[in-house]
């Protein structure tokens, strides 16, 4: 039975800007699993009400509904053990769990400050008021205030990414010889930025920039299917 993957879209269907759903899309491709995508917008919670919560990604795999990108990665790993591994081994799963938490708390924390006002510009018209209200409540400031100091916000993101760059200067993938779920975690953040902002997270000539280009090439250029804000 085909897996159903629930994803978030912006103003157009092609604008898949969610970092967390990119993790799942890459994990499905890594496992070589076929799936169908169901798109929803922020304010279309009725489409995912069956899951008992309000966030994506979600997958429906047969009778099973799995929410949360980490839980989905573990589900895919455990349910399809004969397919290429996302973690390599139990130690790999445990250390990738750290990368998952670090990405969500540190990298996404810094990146959301840089991107917040830009995200508002690319979400669907019907989502704009919801996005502004929920995020301004979260930050206690307007979106524009959070994102005002662009240079400083970009510097904070690049500083957070410095250890990733240093690692990739020594090995081609965070997964070692080939891409693994740790790569998809960081790549999700890059895709978030690609969809919404002209800011380049990695400077050309760096190991991080070369890695992102390799990531964009994976699975027949899956990552490149996302419109690039820097080129539009
Ligand atoms: N920890 C969750 C976070 C999921 C999450 O925050 N998803 C966002 C999209 S990136 C969402 O669905 N937001 C909907 C909303 O804010 O209403 C995961 O890793 O899956």
The model's pLDDT over 197-209, given as tens digits with 9 standing for 90+, comes to 988 999 999 999 9
**pLDDT, tens digit, 9 for 90 and up, residues 2-61:** 999 999 999 999 999 999 999 999 999 999 999 999 999 999 999 999 999 999 999 999
Q: Is the CB of 40 under 6 A from ligand 1?
A: no
* Separation of alpha carbons 54 and 6, rounded Å: 11
- Atom index in ligand 1 nearest the CA of residue 70 equals 19
> Phi, psi (5° rounding) for residue 108?
-65, -30
Q: ∠ at Cα 134 (140, 228), nearest 5°?
A: 105
Model-level pTM greater than 0.95?
A: yes
Q: How far is CA 182 from the centre of its chain?
A: 12
* Separation of alpha carbons 76 and 69, rounded Å: 10
The pLDDT assigned to 232 comes to 54
Q: Is the CB of 18 under 6 A from ligand 1?
A: yes
Are the C-beta atoms of 153 and 109 separated by less than 8 Å?
A: no
Alpha helices in 9-54 (DSSP H): 19-31
- Atom index in ligand 1 nearest the CA of residue 20 equals 10
Which residue from 49, 54, 55, 193 has its CB within 8 A of the most atoms of ligand 1, so it is best to mutate? 55
**pLDDT, tens digit, 9 for 90 and up, residues 68-125:** 999 999 999 999 999 999 999 999 999 999 999 999 999 999 999 999 999 999 999 9
Pairing of strands 3-8, 58-61: antiparallel
Task: Look at residue 170 and give its three-state secondary structure.
Answer: coil
Token code pair at residue 180: 């693994």
H/E segment holding residue 211: helix 207-221
Strands (E), the chain: 3-8, 35-40, 58-61, 64-67
Q: Tell how far the Cα of 57 is from the centroid of ligand 1, in angstroms.
A: 7
């Amino acid at each position: 039975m085909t897996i159903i993957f629930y994803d978030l879209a912006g103003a157009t269907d092609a604008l898949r800007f969610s970092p967390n759903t990119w993790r799942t899309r890459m994990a499905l491709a890594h496992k070589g699993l076929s799936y169908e995508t169901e798109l929803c917008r922020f304010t279309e919670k009725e489409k995912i009400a069956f899951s008992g919560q309000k966030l994506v990604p979600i997958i429906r795999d047969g009778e099973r509904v799995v929410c949360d990108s980490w839980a989905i990665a573990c589900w895919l790993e455990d349910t399809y053990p004969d397919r290429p591994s996302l973690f390599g081994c139990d130690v790999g799963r445990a250390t990738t769990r750290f990368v998952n938490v670090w990405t969500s708390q540190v990298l996404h924390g810094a990146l959301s400050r840089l991107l917040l006002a830009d995200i508002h510009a690319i979400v669907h018209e019907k989502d704009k008021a919801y996005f502004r209200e929920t995020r301004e409540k979260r930050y206690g400031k307007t979106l524009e205030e959070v994102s005002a100091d662009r240079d400083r916000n970009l510097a904070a993101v690049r500083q957070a990414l410095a250890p990733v760059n240093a690692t990739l200067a020594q090995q081609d993938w965070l997964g070692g010889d080939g891409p693994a779920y740790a790569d998809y975690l960081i790549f999700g953040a890059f895709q978030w930025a690609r969809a919404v902002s002209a800011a380049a997270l990695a400077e050309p000539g760096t190991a991080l920039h070369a890695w992102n280009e390799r990531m964009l090439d994976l699975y027949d250029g899956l990552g490149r299917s996302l419109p690039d804000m820097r080129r539009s």
